[in-house]
Structure 1
Amino acid sequence: MMDIDYKIVFTGPPGAGKTTAIGALSDTPPVMTDVANNDPGLGKAFTTVGLDYGEVILSETERVRLFGTPGQERFAFMWRILATNALGLIILLDNSRPHPLDELRTYLKAYEGLIGEVACVIGVGRTETHATPSTDEVADELARHGLLCPVLAIDVRRRDDVLLLVDTVLAQVEARYWEMNA
């Protein structure tokens, strides 16, 4: 039986890789609520309509629970529900989409107040084929909103890249703990 659970939420627009990231990292078979996509604007065969869920087992008594939000704005009510009691937030962006910074702004607004209270990292995918916006431009957009979060270029299919996102969240949590208890 697990004694300590950590909760990290993956969020971002449709197609950013939330389901793939959780699947790449989860030590247990992930739970996914994907259905056939009827929106041709999303450009993918399946889309998440509820949540994705996976787990990373740290020890016999500790695990990290990974929750993925649906990306479509019509499911925005789920975003904050899934973020309740989260230790951290991972916002994924897909640089191959037409307006990644506009999509980032959508999620910054949706999680306004929560970002800053919980650890947060931005993962930018498909940078190898779509160089803009750069991670620096994403960081500049965060700064315009008064936010300072790590921004990493990642490939959600690679376990090590997704693990780096989770490690970055956990490092922020640890730093805050030591700062508060110093």
Structure 2
Amino acid sequence: MSEHVILFAGPMGAGKTTAIQTLSETKVIATEATNNDRETADKPTTTVALDYGTILLGGDGDTEDELVRLYGIPGQRRFSFMWSILKRRATGMVLLVHNDAPKPFDAMLEFLDEFGDLYDKGGIVVGITRADVSNRPLVPDYSEVIASVYPNRLIPVFAVDPRNADSVRMALMTLIANIEMRAMFRSIASGAQAAV
């Protein structure tokens, strides 16, 4: 059985824990503590180490099942030691950014910079949450910012509702397809080099 290790990253309150709870087929392990930073995100608890769940993507008869390990990381920089630990095994990242944040582009770019090596390793997709609360900026605005700062990176951007399984699954499946396609191209390229 093949396996993917996917991080759900983003600022506090973006919906990482909710997204993992929505997707996971197993009981989610969560490390929630009282949120003492209610100015940043007005919610009672926050992740302080990780959230963990799993989902099994069924093969179609010609392919084997794939186990996807879902890790939610803390959104606050003071817990960034967990970022380093969890990204070691990760093959990709779903970056969630809440649209009603004071500076959503800055938050997005901070995480894209911090986790840029995951783009090279497998892939990144960006999910814009809370677009129902704030309809600006628009999804294409995020894509334009990414293209201006990282012109050589193709990072898909979606509106995502972390409470909706289909919505989160679309972002996850796009990421996994991207990871597998890039792995296939690397394999073909290394095979071609070995043949020379």
Global fold match (TM > 0.5): yes
User: Which residue of the partner structure matches residue 61 of structure 2?
Assistant: none
Task: Using the TM superposition, give the Cα deviation of residue 61 of structure 1 relative to its aligned residue in structure 2, in angstroms.
Answer: 5.6
Identity %: 39
On the 8 A contact 1:55/1:63 being kept in 2, the answer is yes
User: Which residue of the partner structure matches residue 16 of structure 1?
Assistant: 14
On the 8 A contact 2:7/2:71 being kept in 1, the answer is yes
Cα deviation, 1:46-81, whole Å, max 9, x if unaligned, reads 000000000002358631000000001111221132
Amino acid of the structure 1 residue aligned with 2:11: P
Report 1:18-167 matches (<5 A).
18-41=16-39, 42-59=41-58, 62-146=66-150, 147-167=153-173
Larger-gyration structure (1/2)? 2
Give me the whole-angstrom Cα distance separating, in 1, the residues matched to 2:163 and 2:83. 23
Give me the whole-angstrom Cα distance separating, in 2, the residues matched to 1:108 and 1:84. 16
The change in CA–CA distance for 1:6 and 1:112 in structure 2 (over 3 A counts) is closer
Give me the whole-angstrom Cα distance separating, in 1, the residues matched to 2:90 and 2:14. 20
CA RMSD in angstroms comes to 1.6
Give me the whole-angstrom Cα distance separating, in 2, the residues matched to 1:175 and 1:109. 23
Cα deviation, 1:76-126, whole Å, max 9, x if unaligned, reads 221132111212111000011211111112112211333233211000011
SS in 1 for 2:179: helix
Give me the whole-angstrom Cα distance separating, in 2, the residues matched to 1:72 and 1:25. 23
Higher helix proportion: 2
Amino acid of the structure 1 residue aligned with 2:45: F
TM-score (norm 1): 0.92
Count of aligned pairs? 180
Cα deviation, 1:10-42, whole Å, max 9, x if unaligned, reads 000000000000000000010000111122212
Give me the whole-angstrom Cα distance separating, in 1, the residues matched to 2:5 and 2:128. 21
Runs of 4+ in 1 over 3 A off after TM superposition: 59-62
Give me the whole-angstrom Cα distance separating, in 2, the residues matched to 1:116 and 1:139. 18
